[in-house]
Amino acid sequence: MIKLRLLPLLLSILLFTGCSSFGWLKFWDSEDEEEGPTELFAINPSVQISTDWSESFGNENNFGRLIPSVYERKVYFVSSEGYLASLDIESGRTEWSIDTNDNVSGGLEVNFKTITYGTLDGDLVALDYKDGKELWRSQASSEILTPPVTDGSMLIAQTGDGRIAGYDFKSGERQWFHQTTLPRLTLRGTSRPYINQGFVFTGFANGKIAMIYPDSGAIRFEIPVTINEGKSELERIIDIDGKSLITNDLLIAASYQGNITAINLREGRPAWQENISTIKDLTLNGNRVMAVDEADKVKAFGVATGAILWEQENLKLRKLTSPVSIRNFIAVGDLEGYIHLLDSKNGDFLGRKKISRRPIMELTSESNFLLAVDESGKIFKLSIN
């Protein structure tokens, strides 16, 4: 009865604040909550993970997604407090660093000799990649929670108010925007847009995935990954907050409390669909699509049919990062600072290393190495042997 009396109050708070993070919102009974994170069992690693170097940036807050970027043999990273540095990829030595004085919430994209990121105040910022000198700054409509993306002509940024916009890459002048209608309740986060085959692809809080012309913002198609069928406002939350992917003329995307759906790009219609609930990026390894669901189960789906090929449950509730693909492995980080390597063919554990005492927040792969970022803003370069 106490929980029922608290429900109207909690809903009122959510409706007033708009986009919200739901990590604290599990006021209902949950078997997963009672279980807690799965304890790790000993493995006999056949693959070794080595820390090549680490560098601390400091991070008092985590406003959005801060992901390292590699460009011309340099690693670029910015902390939530705006400390930006260029590091030598081999040694981790700082080439140069600046304090931008920005509250960075969406970073980092480095391409075409330009560094770009977004801020909590809705600023979109472009800097010279050689020394961090500011080139231009434009005001977006809301906070930017994921890295922007560019094709060298337009810079594309997605904001927390359901808008995606295109800016002239050289001047920062906004050229177009596309506005979606947000549901009454959404998660705090946005999909990570990317450019492929000459189009911008991104997902929205209404459960739709869009294919957009980058020069004009015209919509090629906007298709639902998940249909809003919940009975309550909470059950109707179907945000697409993770990055989708493209393979074999299929656009594959997944949503919270919904589905993973493959859309045929030539025909503009779904090819297959399976149930999943996730807010994480998808990754591809061979003919398998990997996803981490809301319970932190790692799942592999067949690209052609969507059939579940394997499921790894031994990392359940360990607050995993988005999965990344490196060689024939799938890597994830967890809440205790571990990096786990799974066999992409069957999901078996092949390697594990504790690199930090803090949770791993982001993990990305570059050729034959990984870059990890922990909760304190420390960045690690990891080799796989």
Task: Tell me the average confidence (pLDDT) per consecutive run of 10 residues in the chain, 385 residues long.
Answer: 42 41 41 76 96 90 91 96 96 97 95 97 97 97 96 97 97 97 87 95 95 96 86 87 96 96 93 96 97 98 97 98 97 98 98 97 94 96 96
Which among 327, 319, 329, 328 is positioned nearest to 362, based on CA atoms?
A: 319
Residue 185: the pLDDT is 84
Question: Are the CB atoms for 218 and 210 separated by under 8 Å?
Answer: no
Residue 34: the pLDDT is 64
Domain of residue 116, CATH code: 2.40.128.630
**Sign (positive or negative) of CA dihedral 319, 203, 299, 43:** negative
d(CA 244, CA 192): 8
Structural domains of the chain, count: 1
Residue 341 lies in a domain: no
Residue 248 lies in a domain: no
Residue 333 lies in a domain: no
Alpha-carbon torsion, ordered 316, 65, 167, 176, to 10 deg = 40
Phi, psi of 82, rounded to the nearest 5 degrees = 95, 10
Residue 16: the pLDDT is 40
Q: Which long-range contacts (CB under 8 A, 24 or more apart) does 303-312 make?
A: 303/247, 303/248, 303/250, 303/252, 303/262, 304/248, 305/272, 306/260, 306/262, 306/271, 306/272, 306/273, 306/274, 308/274, 310/346, 310/347, 311/347, 312/342, 312/347, 312/348
Two tokens, residue 44: 């006999």
Q: Per residue in 301-321, is it b (16+ CB within 10 Å) or e — as a string? A: bebeebeebbebebbbbbbbb
Residue 99 lies in a domain: yes
Question: Are the CB atoms for 224 and 263 separated by under 8 Å?
Answer: no
- Domain that includes residue 164, residue range: 64-175
Residue 323: the pLDDT is 98
The CA–CA distances, whole Å, from 146 to 76, 117, 287, 300, 370 equal: 16, 8, 27, 25, 20
Residue 4: the pLDDT is 41
Residue 367: the pLDDT is 84
Residue 366 lies in a domain: no
Residue 40 lies in a domain: no
Two tokens, residue 74: 């340099």
Residue 198 lies in a domain: no
Residue 101 lies in a domain: yes
